[in-house]
């Protein structure tokens, strides 16, 4: 995609020469999200003199709903612009232009970095979910201990058996118990 009047003609042959297939080229920032959702490319490449605010906003939307590695080639070397681009989901921001010999390594690094960041985000989300589950399980155990005069191991065992009976995770049983206790 380019968000200025720059011509992408030299980019397609350079990509094809290093084994990439160009599956779509959009000239409108508004068409970017639709094209990415429809095509699910390995990498999104943006060639621009300077990324516009609209481009960065659309990249943020794309990063939230259809995340893909994004390589931005730009003439703009301003640190604030680069930080805004990275915050919007740009994986690699290249200022020195398009040199065909550099293209393949740049794209491979961008894909590898994107995959690594995705794995880190997934691990963080999992750890946050586990922490939330632990907190709700502790709260549910407290409710059972108070209402039914149980010890902590007895409360835990009761919830564990209920989770097995319902075929759900212990955290879900704890959430149900806490929700019901709020009604009482």
Q: Taking the domain 124-183, which CATH number applies?
A: 1.10.10.10
9-63 pLDDT, tens digit each: 667 788 888 888 888 888 777 888 888 988 899 999 988 888 889 899 999 999 9
86-106 pLDDT, tens digit each: 999 999 999 976 777 788 899
Q: Taking the domain 11-98, which CATH number applies?
A: 3.40.50.2300
Q: Where are the domains of the chain?
A: 11-98, 124-183
Cα gap 158→90, rounded to integer Å: 49
Looking at residue 3, its pLDDT comes to: 52
Cα gap 184→181, rounded to integer Å: 5
Look at residue 126 and tell me whether its pLDDT is greater than 90.
yes
Look at 86 and 8; give whichever has higher pLDDT.
Answer: 86
Predicted TM-score (pTM) of the model is 0.71
Q: Which three-class secondary structure string do you get for 7-21?
A: CCCCHHHHHHHCCCC
Q: Smallest Cα–Cα separation from 81: which of 52, 60, 119, 41?
A: 52
For every residue of 140-184, DSSP letters joined together read HHHHHHHHH---HHHHHHHHHHHHHHHTS-HHHHHHHHHHHHHH-
44-59 pLDDT, tens digit each: 998 888 888 989 999 9
139-169 pLDDT, tens digit each: 999 999 999 999 999 999 999 999 999 999 9
Angle at 66 between CA 122 and CA 34, to 5 degrees: 180
Q: Which three-class secondary structure string do you get for 98-128?
A: CCHHHHHHHHHHHHHHHHHHHHHHHHHHHHH
């Amino acid at each position: 995609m380019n968000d200025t009047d720059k011509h992408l003609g030299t980019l397609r042959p350079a990509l094809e020469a290093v084994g990439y297939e160009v599956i779509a080229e959009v000239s409108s920032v508004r068409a970017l999200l639709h094209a990415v959702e429809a095509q699910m490319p390995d990498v999104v490449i943006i060639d621009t003199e300077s990324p516009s605010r609209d481009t960065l906003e659309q990249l943020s939307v794309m990063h939230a709903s259809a995340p893909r590695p994004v390589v931005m080639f730009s003439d703009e070397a301003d640190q604030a612009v680069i930080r805004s681009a990275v915050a919007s989901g740009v994986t690699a921001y290249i200022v020195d232009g398009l040199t065909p010999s550099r293209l393949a390594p740049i794209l491979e690094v961008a894909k590898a970095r994107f995959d690594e960041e995705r794995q880190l985000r997934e691990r963080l989300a999992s750890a946050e979910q586990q922490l939330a589950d632990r907190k709700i399980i502790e709260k549910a155990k407290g409710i059972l201990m108070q209402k039914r005069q149980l010890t902590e191991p007895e409360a835990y065992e009761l919830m564990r058996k209920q989770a097995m009976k319902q075929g759900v995770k212990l955290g879900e049983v704890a959430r149900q118990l806490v929700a019901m206790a709020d009604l009482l």
